[in-house]
Amino acid sequence: MIYQSTRNDDLKASSAQAILDGMAKDGGLYSPVSLAEVALDWRALLSLSTQDMAAKILAALLPSFSETEMAALVQQAYAGKFESDELTPTVRVGDDTVLELFRGPTSAFKDVALAMLPVLMTAARKKCGVDDDILILTATSGDTGKAAMEGFRNVPGTRIMVFYPYGGVSPVQQAQMATQDGDNVCVSAVRGNFDDAQTGVKRIFAAVEREGLLRGKGVRLSSANSINIGRLAPQVVYYFKAYADLVKSGRIAVGDAVDFAVPTGNFGDILAGYFAKELGLPVGKLICASNANNILTDFLSTGVYDRNRPFYKTVSPSMDILVSSNLERLLFMLSKDADLVARLMKNLSETGAYEVPASLKEQLDLLFFAACCDDGGTKAAIGEVWRRYGYLMDTHTAVAYEAARQYKAACPDHGSVVILSTASPYKFPAAVLEALGEEPGEDEFAAMERLEALTGVPMPKNLRGLRERPVRHRDVIDRADMLNYVLDKAMQARW
């Protein structure tokens, strides 16, 4: 399968090249046109272990690597890093199934992909005969940054720089990043919100490419955001894993449709669900769950994407996003029309808005159900699920739970629903404590301990003792200084 830019039919790349580049040189994202030609027997996957499933799915999506090669890469990526070899367990909560994606080294679902990406990147570098160091630039709404640094930490031939919105991540997320160790990692806060940081990173890619700023310097840029196809592909696997669990438990028969509720920000996680569906998995509706930044809820109900609106800081900060990058891939795969996508993205950058044609809107209606809730609804869901089922959700998972509830009310003949759980509740302890009716207090670290004492749900090992770890990164910069910051750092032999 060949990848191409979502904005230009002539800009093509192998999967290894697409991983190495991160994004296409014209500002588009590397995407398959269709997954129809991918030969994958989805039924045969259901009896495999998660890691064997991953090897087959990833080799199908990234055919620069053979299945044998991919099996070794999967082993290398995941062995011993997650709480269990199952990687992403499912838990029964009332009538629903919660897919726990946060059992990895940094307690966020980003680990599933970011444990794999460095291994893929290193293998792609070898495959493409590249000697340059890879400098990974990453904008983060809080979780990607930590998971990416953990994944790339001390990986030879790579360095990683992370930008997060100053004051826009939770204190726990901030501490996780500021205390990151490793000789090849660097992290800075940017004055602005996540969209500013993400736009800044995209502009750096464009400027470096246009002006050849790193030419001959032995360094090239790539991305660990879900604009990188190597980040997206590993996320497809857990849709199959969840489906297999439902079959094994006897809750569904092979072939029954399953609906997935996905707490959505940059649209990577839910796009992976669309990939799973295109690969044949009986995915019913993809429930796109948003917080008060409900631009996707509006888009999916009207066909108009309009970022000219207030930006809210919510208790689910990893979804505080107004420009969902991966939507571009969906628009491309549904329309198969790079000129259309180029036009829409030009409108977005010039006017902050675009409207999709009616035919595309009809396709979206068939695939998605969109719902949102504010912080009040988020906390109410956490409290209710704890009281009724003794299950503790984080704030992002709670948004998906609430969206699933709205979906079930709107579609009474729905099938089994899987709720994707994207973070440990201990990453957002103040909001979770408040949801349980407690006074959260000022100190998030004390809140973590109180939450554990109150609920008895064990705190993940990696978050314990976070407060005592030495702070290694303190930079705060202006948006306008991002490019120079990167160029400066790129030229330093040691960080």
Ligand X SMILES: *Cc1c(COP(=O)(O)O)cnc(C)c1O
- For ligand X, which is the closer residue by CB, 14 or 422? 422
How far, in Å, CA of 296 to CA of 300, rounded?
6
In whole angstroms, the minimum distance from the beta carbon of 335 to ligand X comes to 21
- For ligand X, which is the closer residue by CB, 270 or 342? 270
In whole angstroms, the minimum distance from the beta carbon of 83 to ligand X comes to 17
How far, in Å, CA of 267 to CA of 91, rounded?
24
- CB under 8 Å to 67, separation ≥6 — which residues? 55, 56, 59
Please give the DSSP secondary-structure letter assigned to residue 181: -
Find the DSSP H helices in 128-264: 143-152, 171-178, 194-211, 229-248
Give residues in contact with ligand X (CB under 6 A): 108-110, 143, 226, 263-269, 318-319, 396, 422-423
In whole angstroms, the minimum distance from the beta carbon of 423 to ligand X comes to 4
How far, in Å, CA of 139 to CA of 380, rounded?
30
Which of 263, 266, 233, 246 has the alpha carbon at shortest distance from 19?
A: 233
In whole angstroms, the minimum distance from the beta carbon of 3 to ligand X comes to 19
The residue assigned the tokens 């011993």 is 80
- For ligand X, which is the closer residue by CB, 111 or 434? 111
CB 465 within 8 A of CB 440: no
CB 329 within 8 A of CB 271: yes
Please give the DSSP secondary-structure letter assigned to residue 255: T
The residue assigned the tokens 């705060």 is 476
Judged by DSSP in three states, 457 sits in coil
Judged by DSSP in three states, 495 sits in coil
In whole angstroms, the minimum distance from the beta carbon of 270 to ligand X comes to 6
Which of 360, 291, 353 has the alpha carbon at shortest distance from 141?
A: 291
Strands 3-5 and 8-13: antiparallel
336 is catalytic: no
- For ligand X, which is the closer residue by CB, 267 or 401? 267
- For ligand X, which is the closer residue by CB, 71 or 287? 287
Catalytic residue among 12, 56, 81, 110: 110
Cross-strand partners of 290: 372
In whole angstroms, the minimum distance from the beta carbon of 388 to ligand X comes to 23
- For ligand X, which is the closer residue by CB, 46 or 300? 300
Query: Would the CA dihedral through 187, 190, 193, 197 be positive or negative?
Result: negative
In whole angstroms, the minimum distance from the beta carbon of 250 to ligand X comes to 30
- For ligand X, which is the closer residue by CB, 32 or 263? 263
How far, in Å, CA of 197 to CA of 186, rounded?
15
Catalytic (active-site) positions: 110
